[in-house]
Every structure is written in structure tokens, then in C-alpha cells.
Amino acid sequence: MQALLDVYKIRQDFPILNRCLTNGKKLVYLDNAATTQKPKQVIDAICKYYSEYNSNIHRAVYQIADEATEEYEKTRENLRKFINAKYSEEIIFTRNATESLNLIAHSWGRNNIKKGDKIILTEYEHHSNIVPWQMLCNHQGAKINYIDTDYNGYLNIESFLNFLKDKGEYGETKLVSLSHMSNVLGTIYPVKDIIKIAHEKDIPVVLDGAQSVPHLDTDVQDIDCDFLAFSAHKMLGPTGVGILYVKKEILECMPPFITGGDMIKEVHKEYTVFNDLPYRFEGGTPNIADVIGFNTAIEYLKDIGMGNVRKHEKELVKYLYNSIKDIKDIKIYGPPDINNRGGLVSFNLDGIHPHDCATILNDFGVAIRSGHHCAQVLMEKLDIIASSRASVYIYNTKEEIDIFVDALNHVRRIFKV
């Protein structure tokens, strides 16, 4: 079978993958759902900005400021193409996906969610897609309904439909917000269908794409979401850059969130005229260097092709799943069908806390995540306090999975289970 992507060639672009840890072991990085590593092209692009044209954007008239503005805006245009947005002004830069979601809750939320309204979320949401809505609902006197998730990570569509119908003591649902892919279960959700159902009732939908955009081909016009939030650092880009996509007709009616410099046209003693889209939503000097670095990350992913990214991850996660599913007393969460699973597997070994598991794996150079993964509502549903999670990306190999599985067996030996 022809290689989907040349993983060994890709690995040469990631300096950190050559790193030896203090115990002499090579780093086996399997915490990609938390953040991915950066290729040297991205690191170089950031370095180049600071070494050659560091300056503030959108204002000054000299050459290097022009260069910086041009590169910064190039990222926006490239992102527009990457997610197939209609207009580049639908793309807003924030600090992270969390800030993107907060922006929606503050700006759109406070103007559209009224006392007695309802918002629909799911039980598998990351805290960043729960807490802003809780704060909003507490402030406005609205209520959240959570769509049921079953133990294989699938959504109970019936409960969704019932929430839409239910007018009860509370009024109508005014917003649906959900993740495209769960950061714990790995489930890829049929969001296009969910959005279609919500739109039939004229309810806008927020999509948390933090786990999906880095791994799946994303077309916002096809999915038809009204808002999309994601982060650069989970897709080869630098930390400190979040993205918010909002349909233009909605964005035009939203008041600013962070106010001050750069987001204005005129400021007078008594009033302010706000800047055009998208600058109205980017108050203050943004993270110029990292937005510019992010452009290189997008180019890198485009060169590989998001279809190939998905194929590679699917093959790896199938190998990973099959390698551990028969380990004695292991409990794996999320869908058994790999077609519905992104590049991660969460699990627990009976009688061994995930933190103890991760500490022992660290001796083998293996970096996995353990904890509640900022999804305590889901943890409660699964009746666990934590889980271990291994997540893959374009540079991971089957050899690394083998090292991980050996290490996992060692954990069991130490704990004598």
C-alpha cells in the first residue's frame, strides 16, 4: 500500500522529536490533543519576524510595518481558504479557542440570550464550552440543557429533539453549542445533521473545533455552522493564537468584546465609532509574531493535505486501539468504530490511577495526558475521576505505539495487576 504521507521525512522537520530526555530515552509524544509540536518552518517564521521586520501592524507607514501588516493579513486570508469561509473578515484572531468562545458569549450572548431562554450543550463538552455559557445564563437568567451522551460516546438525538420541542417553564432554545470532536472520547459527531435540525428552527449553532479543525478537512459553508472556535497550537502553530469564525451577517450585528486601541475608527469624549470587520473585534496589539508563524503551519498542513492527515491518524489509532483493547482490566472510552473516532484513545487500567500510569510511562519517554481533561461533566457521567489519553498526529509512528504499549504493560507489572 502506498504511504499516505512520508512520516519519516515529516519527523525531520520537528527538532523536538530528536530530543533525548534526562534518562536517555527518546521522546515519544502522544499528547497531541493538548498541543502539537512545531515544525522548524514555523519556528523559523517567528524568528524571521523578530529578526527582520518586527513592528506594530495596521498603523505605521514605514516599510517594515507594511511587511508585518501584510504577513499578518496573509494568515487571515489563508485561514479563510483553509476552512472555506466566504469572506476573510469573518475570521477574528483571539488568544485561544477559550477566548473565542468567551467572545461569543459576551458579545452575541448578552444581546441575544434573554431571561427564560435556553441554551443546548452536550455532556461531553470541554469546560471552555460550558463555563462561558453558565456565566452568561447566570447573568441573564437563562438555562442550559445538556444532550445525553452514552458510554460509547454517541449523542442521544432524541434528547436533543426533546429539548428543542420543550418550552416548559423556560422559553425557547436560542443557541446550540457543541464540539465537533470530543477531547476525551474521541468521537467525531454528526454536527452537520445537528446544525441542520437547529437551523430548521432558526437556532444558530456554535461549533467548538479545537479538536476537529487540526485533524479533519473543515468547510464552514458546507457544515453551515454560525460560529467556529479553534486554536493554532493544536495544529502545528504557536501558542497564543485562537481563531473565531462568525458568519458575516451575524458578526455585523455583534458589539465589540475587548475595546480600546486598533478596534476604533474615531474616539470622541462622548462616543466612539468602531472599526470595520474584523478589526472591531481585535482590540489592542495582537499576537503578531505567532499569527504570522501560524500561516506557515497552515501551509505545512495544506501541503500534506487534510485528507492524508486524517488517513494517517485513522491508521495509527486503529493500530493503537487494537494493540491495547485486549489488555486485562483495561477500560477504553469512546466509539469502538474507528470511522467515528478521531486520533485519540482514552482508557483506564483497573486499580491504577491515570496519574500513576502516566508517571511510569514517562520513564519510557512516553508523554500522555492523564486527568479529567477539562471535562468534569463527562467524567461524572462516566463515573470516573480521571482517565489516561494517548493522542496522535502527523509525525507519530507505529513504532512509537509499540513503545507505548510495552510501557503500559510495564505499568501493570509494577502495580502487579
Taking phi over 0 as left and psi of -120 to 50 as alpha, with beta for the rest, 260 belongs to left
Element (H, E) at 196: helix 191-200
- 362 residue type, one letter: N
Question: 372, 377, 402, 405: which one contacts other proteins (CB under 8 A)?
Answer: 372
Question: 3, 16, 47, 414: which one contacts other proteins (CB under 8 A)?
Answer: 414
| Nearest C-alpha neighbor of 294 from the set 80, 76, 97 | 76
**Of the listed pieces 63-71, 150-158, 287-295, 351-359, which binds other proteins according to CB under 8 A?**
351-359
Find the binding residues for other proteins in span 153-182 (CB under 8 A).
none
134 binds other proteins (CB under 8 A): no
128 binds other proteins (CB under 8 A): no
Q: Is 385 helix (H, G, I), strand (E, B) or coil?
A: coil
- As measured in angstroms, the least distance from the Cβ of 78 to other proteins is 36
Find the binding residues for other proteins in span 1-40 (CB under 8 A).
23
Alpha carbons within 13 angstroms on the beta-carbon side of residue 16 total: 17
371 binds other proteins (CB under 8 A): yes
b/e per residue 17-26 (b: at least 16 CB within 10 A):
beeeeeeebe
359 binds other proteins (CB under 8 A): yes
Tell the residue number behind the cell numbers 478537512, with chain if given.
Answer: 217
354 binds other proteins (CB under 8 A): yes
Q: Which is nearer to other proteins, 26 or 48 (CB)?
A: 26
56 binds other proteins (CB under 8 A): no
Strands 330-333 and 28-29: unpaired
Find the binding residues for other proteins in span 252-311 (CB under 8 A).
none
Q: Which is nearer to other proteins, 92 or 360 (CB)?
A: 360
Cis peptide before 286 (omega within 30 of 0): no
Count interface residues toward other proteins (CB under 8 A).
20
Q: Which is nearer to other proteins, 127 or 310 (CB)?
A: 127
Cell of 404: 507505548
> What number of other Cβ atoms are within 10 A of residue 315's Cβ?
16
Q: Which is nearer to other proteins, 161 or 417 (CB)?
A: 417
Question: 40, 95, 353, 381: which one contacts other proteins (CB under 8 A)?
Answer: 353
Known catalytic residue: 20?
A: no
- As measured in angstroms, the least distance from the Cβ of 411 to other proteins is 9
Question: Distance (Å, rounded) from C-alpha 52 to C-alpha 49?
Answer: 5
Cell of 133: 455559557
**Of the listed pieces 28-36, 78-86, 214-222, 346-354, which binds other proteins according to CB under 8 A?**
346-354
Question: 27, 356, 377, 397: which one contacts other proteins (CB under 8 A)?
Answer: 356
Angle at 99 between CA 170 and CA 255, to 5 degrees: 65
127 binds other proteins (CB under 8 A): no
Question: Distance (Å, rounded) from C-alpha 186 to C-alpha 389?
Answer: 10
**Cβ 177 vs Cβ 330: under 8 Å:** no
Lay out the site mask for other proteins across 377-396 (x = CB under 8 A, - = otherwise).
Answer: --x-----xx----------
> What number of other Cβ atoms are within 10 A of residue 106's Cβ?
19
Question: 19, 167, 196, 355: which one contacts other proteins (CB under 8 A)?
Answer: 355
- As measured in angstroms, the least distance from the Cβ of 244 to other proteins is 27
| Nearest C-alpha neighbor of 60 from the set 303, 268, 285, 381 | 285
Which residues bind to other proteins, rule: CB under 8 A? 23, 352-356, 359-360, 362-363, 370-372, 376, 379, 385-386, 414-416
Catalytic residues: 374
